[in-house]
């Protein structure tokens, strides 16, 4: 019965095809599939042509220098990312075009034209200079979603100072680790940001981090929420005070195409976050090209990508791609359900948003909140929808298509990663027929494969590892300060073959469409955000009660995956639990709060289960795969490598009856 149903589901998925509406194709930036053949015939010429959409101070000598796995794109080209996102537009009619339309959570709003943005960014850059920032210095940014966050990033880019944006939802300790790894000299933060009517106390969190980051010399604080915060004399400066005495107008540093534009930390299979390094030329070519073609962007569009600037999607498709293209970008500070679940649709109606890009987890939340919310608003301005962050289930796709897109908007399901910098597998909305749940096909000029453990292509219809076969312009260049980890994590997984290993499973169907099957490594994808099992486990074992812990991702209707943890307590704590001296819920709450303190609220485990023993191999490795089987209520997979098979049967029985 179960098997039969699975077969039917698969057939249904394959059968539903949505062709691009003719009216859409007629007006599309890319109208024909020829571009795929052109790019494949000569990828370097294709990317060189795309590079022409940028302004270069000096043209490159060579498109690509590939010393696997180290790439240089647009060798000896000189440019500036901020110049490309702002200054060059000032010489055109776009000077007075809206660059950023900002909607604050409390309902305040601001519009910054490209000329306004120029004035803000140049003044901000001058302030950073006063605080000692020079080309090559790292600057950490820990900000809410307000225009100053974008201004801060662009000001760094203007000076050639790599930024490291740390998501505002991360804890002090996460911020500290990232500041230390990059040895940031300056931190830019705010007093706070608004989230569901409450203040996220950014400066307060930053203070705790700053107590342990001697590398930070100065802190620049933007006033947003207005509550009292402590300011350390000689280290902390208010932005609005410095702005009063700082002029606008600041020259752009001429940087090399391969100079670092930013570092962004992401979770891998081990506990220590990886500083993904992106450089300037290739990154800007890759993000502006994909933004233009995938989002079919037009000069009169209002474009809204709901990602926070703390994630790669915020970097590539809120800031650099769209602004390089002279787009009007909508920026919203707060939560989708504040003050009610209609907030996003109220914003779409208010600003006549045309292109909307969000994550499957958000779409599933909208579904749960009910069709009546989008139903109350006029969403007829929308012409194109997008998703990113995790596989979208066909049901959510179809809901999005109907309830948000009015069955008229194509949906671009875009697969990519922090490391790829740019969209890699995606429809082109004017040419690619869509199948709900599939990210469709590789972007022109991108060579992808699905391979087995020896690196051989698997047959159509079969699952395997998603791999990228050729370098691409926005690829990560290394892990900050750790070339070896870069090589080992991404390029050495399949011995003897130079393939980029994405860490995702995938399948190709008989039309050569890609279906992403989720992570194959120890990475949990919670609401489209990557966390490693190791990070969560190290946070837990840091607690004095915990002897050992195993974290897994468990399917979750809204978040895609939720974190479940299996914890072995130390003897004294275990005694207290057994004797009832302390309630189980007390233990659970305390450990959940501890993970939040160490990593941030996104890492809060949904479920904490206590167990006397964890299933291990003979060499002592925790078998998370079996814990996943237990948590999902599935039959146990292969248990032959277990050191003590009795442990797992007992654990399964207890988990199902909820005792320990
Ligand atoms: C952009 C971003 C990357 C991981 C990636 C996948 C998953 C992202 C899709 C997707 C299926 C998609 N960067 N992922 N997009 N899975 N379909 N369209 O999310 O570095 O934070 O995460 O996200 O597992 O490896 S990320």
Mutation probe of ligand 1 site: the residue of 362, 390, 440 with most atoms within 8 A of C-beta: 390
Q: Ligand 1: distance of its center to the CA of 359 in Å?
A: 10
Strand partners, 199: 194
Angstrom distance (rounded) from CA 584 to CA 204: 32
Neighbour count for residue 219 (Cβ, 10 Å): 21
Q: Domain boundary at 440, 472, 504, which? A: 504
Q: Examine the domain organization and report whether 216 and 114 are in the same domain.
A: yes
Q: Ligand 1: distance of its center to the CA of 458 in Å?
A: 22
- In this structure, the chain runs to a length of 660
349-397: pLDDT as tens digits: 999 999 999 999 899 899 999 999 999 999 999 999 999 998 898 989 9
DSSP string, 135-146: TT--EEEE--SS
Angstrom distance (rounded) from CA 50 to CA 282: 10
Q: Please check whether residue 380 lies inside any domain of the structure.
A: yes
DSSP string, 387-450: E-SSPPPHHHHHHIIIIITTTTS-EEE-B--TTT-S--B---TTTPPB-TT--BSBPTT--EEE
Strand partners, 218: 186
Res. 9: pLDDT tops 90: no
Q: How confident is the model at residue 547 (pLDDT cuts 50, 70, 90)?
A: confident
158-213: pLDDT as tens digits: 999 999 999 999 999 999 999 999 999 999 999 999 999 999 999 999 999 999 99
Res. 1: pLDDT tops 50: no
Q: What is the phi/psi pair of residue 191, to 5°?
A: -60, -40
Mutation probe of ligand 1 site: the residue of 362, 388, 427 with most atoms within 8 A of C-beta: 388
89-107: pLDDT as tens digits: 999 999 999 999 999 999 9
Domain span at residue 644 reads: 523-657
Contact 160, 259 (CB under 8 A): yes
DSSP 75: E
440-478: pLDDT as tens digits: 999 999 999 999 989 999 999 988 999 999 999 999 999
Q: Ligand 1: distance of its center to the CA of 389 in Å?
A: 4
Closest ligand 1 atom, CA of 523?
24
Closest ligand 1 atom, CA of 391?
11
296 or 635, which is more confident: 296
Confidence at residue 660, expressed as pLDDT on a 0 to 100 scale: 46
Q: Domain boundary at 469, 504, 539, which? A: 504
Cis peptide before 286 (omega within 30 of 0): no
CA 563 to chain centre: 18
Q: How confident is the model at residue 75 (pLDDT cuts 50, 70, 90)?
A: very high
Nearest CA to ligand 1 atom 18: 415
Angstrom distance (rounded) from CA 615 to CA 631: 13
Closest ligand 1 atom, CA of 439?
18
Q: Examine the domain organization and report whether 547 and 500 are in the same domain.
A: no
Q: Examine the domain organization and report whether 144 and 80 are in the same domain.
A: yes
Confidence at residue 170, expressed as pLDDT on a 0 to 100 scale: 93
Confidence at residue 11, expressed as pLDDT on a 0 to 100 scale: 45
Q: Please check whether residue 13 lies inside any domain of the structure.
A: no
Nearest CA to ligand 1 atom 26: 417
Confidence at residue 533, expressed as pLDDT on a 0 to 100 scale: 85
Domain containing residue 607: CATH number: 3.30.300.30
Cβ neighbours of residue 271 closer than 8 Å, sequence gap 6 or more: 532, 534, 535, 537, 538
Confidence at residue 609, expressed as pLDDT on a 0 to 100 scale: 95
Q: How confident is the model at residue 425 (pLDDT cuts 50, 70, 90)?
A: very high
Q: How confident is the model at residue 4 (pLDDT cuts 50, 70, 90)?
A: very low
Q: Please check whether residue 516 lies inside any domain of the structure.
A: no
Q: Examine the domain organization and report whether 313 and 217 are in the same domain.
A: yes
Q: Ligand 1: distance of its center to the CA of 658 in Å?
A: 33
Q: How far apart are the first and last CA of the chain?
A: 34
Mutation probe of ligand 1 site: the residue of 415, 423, 505, 526 with most atoms within 8 A of C-beta: 415
Contact 149, 102 (CB under 8 A): no
Q: Ligand 1: distance of its center to the CA of 388 in Å?
A: 6
Domain containing residue 395: CATH number: 3.40.50.12780
112-141: pLDDT as tens digits: 999 999 999 999 999 999 999 999 999 999
Q: Please check whether residue 171 lies inside any domain of the structure.
A: yes
Q: Examine the domain organization and report whether 451 and 528 are in the same domain.
A: no
Nearest CA to ligand 1 atom 3: 417
Confidence at residue 659, expressed as pLDDT on a 0 to 100 scale: 55
Mean pLDDT, residues 335-341: 96
Torsion of CA 219, 224, 228, 229, to 10 degrees: -20
Angstrom distance (rounded) from CA 659 to CA 637: 23
Q: Please check whether residue 576 lies inside any domain of the structure.
A: yes
Mutation probe of ligand 1 site: the residue of 393, 417, 438 with most atoms within 8 A of C-beta: 417
Q: Please check whether residue 224 lies inside any domain of the structure.
A: yes
Nearest CA to ligand 1 atom 8: 389
264-316: pLDDT as tens digits: 999 876 667 899 999 999 999 999 999 999 999 999 999 999 999 999 999 99
Percent of the chain topping pLDDT 70: 97
32-54: pLDDT as tens digits: 999 999 999 999 999 999 999 99
Q: Examine the domain organization and report whether 464 and 537 are in the same domain.
A: no
DSSP E strands, 296-422: 302-305, 328-332, 355-358, 384-387, 411-413
Q: Please check whether residue 2 lies inside any domain of the structure.
A: no
Res. 2: pLDDT tops 90: no
Closest ligand 1 atom, CA of 414?
18
Nearest CA to ligand 1 atom 23: 389
Confidence at residue 576, expressed as pLDDT on a 0 to 100 scale: 93
Q: Please check whether residue 8 lies inside any domain of the structure.
A: no
Q: Ligand 1: distance of its center to the CA of 530 in Å?
A: 8
Q: Which residue has the tokens 């003979």?
A: 618
Angstrom distance (rounded) from CA 544 to CA 169: 25
CA 481 to chain centre: 21
Q: For the chain, what is the mean pLDDT?
A: 94
Domains contained in the chain, number = 2
Q: Domain boundary at 451, 474, 504, which? A: 504
Confidence at residue 271, expressed as pLDDT on a 0 to 100 scale: 64
Tokens read off for 559? 């978040």
Contact 118, 90 (CB under 8 A): yes
Q: How far is CA 608 from CA 191, 265, 531, 592, 604, in A?
A: 34, 27, 17, 8, 10
Cβ neighbours of residue 370 closer than 8 Å, sequence gap 6 or more: 341
Angstrom distance (rounded) from CA 124 to CA 209: 24
Q: Examine the domain organization and report whether 530 and 470 are in the same domain.
A: no
Res. 142: pLDDT tops 90: yes
Mean pLDDT, residues 519-538: 85
Q: Examine the domain organization and report whether 163 and 306 are in the same domain.
A: yes
Please state at what angle helix 584-598 crosses helix 172-182, rounded to 10 degrees.
Answer: 30
Q: Examine the domain organization and report whether 495 and 593 are in the same domain.
A: no
Report the pocket of ligand 1 as residue ranges, CB < 6 Å.
266, 311-313, 388-391, 413-418, 439, 502-504, 516, 519, 525, 528, 530
**CA angle 365–369–371, rounded 5-degree value:** 110
């Amino acid at each position: 019965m179960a098997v039969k149903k699975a077969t039917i589901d698969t057939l249904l998925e394959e059968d539903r095809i949505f062709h691009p509406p003719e009216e859409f194709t007629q007006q599309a930036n890319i109208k024909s599939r020829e571009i795929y053949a052109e790019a494949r015939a000569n990828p370097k010429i294709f990317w060189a042509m795309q590079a022409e959409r940028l302004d270069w101070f000096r043209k490159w000598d060579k498109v690509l220098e590939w010393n696997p796995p180290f790439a240089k794109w647009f060798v000896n080209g000189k440019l500036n990312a901020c110049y490309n996102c702002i200054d060059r537009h000032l010489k055109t009619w776009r000077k007075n075009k809206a660059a950023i339309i900002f909607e604050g959570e409390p309902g305040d709003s601001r519009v910054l034209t490209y000329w306004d943005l120029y004035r803000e960014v140049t003044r901000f850059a001058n302030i950073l200079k006063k605080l000692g920032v020079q080309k090559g210095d790292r600057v950490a940014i820990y900000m809410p979603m307000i225009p100053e966050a974008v201004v801060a990033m662009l000001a760094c880019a203007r000076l050639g100072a790599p930024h490291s944006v740390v998501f505002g939802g991360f804890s002090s300790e996460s911020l500290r680790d990232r500041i230390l790894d990059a040895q940031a000299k300056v931190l830019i933060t705010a007093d706070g940001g608004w989230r569901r009517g409450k203040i996220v106390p950014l400066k307060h969190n930053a203070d705790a981090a700053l107590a342990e980051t001697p590398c930070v010399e100065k802190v620049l604080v933007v006033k947003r929420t207005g509550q009292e915060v402590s300011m350390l004399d000689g280290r902390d400066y208010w932005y609005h005070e410095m702005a009063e005495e700082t002029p606008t107008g600041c020259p752009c540093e001429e940087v090399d195409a391969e100079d670092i534009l930013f570092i962004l930390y992401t979770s891998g299979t081990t506990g220590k976050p990886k500083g993904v390094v992106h450089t300037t030329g290739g990154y800007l070519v890759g993000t502006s090209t994909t933004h233009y073609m995938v989002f079919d962007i037009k000069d009169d569009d209002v474009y809204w990508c709901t990602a926070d600037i703390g994630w790669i999607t915020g970097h590539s498709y809120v800031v650099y791609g769209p602004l390089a293209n002279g787009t009007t970008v909508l920026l919203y500070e707060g939560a989708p359900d504040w003050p009610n679940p209609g907030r996003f649709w109220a914003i779409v109606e208010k600003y006549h948003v045309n292109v909307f890009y969000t994550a499957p987890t958000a779409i599933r939340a909208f579904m749960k909140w009910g069709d009546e919310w989008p139903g109350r608003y006029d969403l007829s301005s929308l012409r194109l929808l997008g998703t990113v962050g995790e596989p979208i289930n066909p049901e959510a796709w179809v809901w999005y298509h109907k309830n948000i897109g009015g069955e008229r908007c194509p949906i671009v399901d875009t697969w990519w990663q922090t490391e790829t910098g740019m969209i890699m597998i995606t429809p082109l909305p004017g040419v690619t027929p869509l199948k709900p749940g599939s990210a469709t096909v590789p972007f022109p000029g991108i060579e992808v494969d699905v391979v087995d453990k020896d690196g051989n292509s698997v047959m159509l219809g079969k699952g395997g590892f998603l791999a990228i076969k050729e370098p691409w312009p926005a690829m990560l260049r290394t892990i900050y300060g750790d070339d070896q980890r870069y090589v080992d994590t991404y390029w050495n997984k399949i011995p003897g073959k130079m393939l980029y290993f994405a860490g995702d499973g995938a399948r190709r169907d008989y039309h050569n469409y890609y279906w992403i099957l989720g992570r194959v490594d120890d990475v949990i994808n919670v609401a489209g955000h990557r966390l490693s099992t190791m990070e969560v486990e190290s946070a837990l074992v840091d607690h004095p009660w915990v002897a050992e812990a195993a974290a897994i991702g468990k399917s979750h209707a809204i978040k895609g995956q939720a974190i479940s943890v299996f914890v072995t307590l130390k003897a004294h704590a275990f005694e207290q639990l057994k004797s009832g001296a302390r309630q189980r819920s007390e233990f659970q709450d305390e450990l959940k709060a501890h993970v939040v303190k160490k990593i941030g609220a996104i890492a809060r485990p949904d479920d904490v289960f206590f167990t006397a023993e964890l299933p291990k191999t003979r060499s002592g490795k925790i078998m998370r795969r079996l814990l996943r089987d237990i948590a999902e209520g599935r039959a146990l997979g292969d248990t032959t490598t277990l050191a003590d098979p009795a442990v797992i049967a007992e654990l399964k029985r207890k988990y199902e009856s909820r005792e320990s």
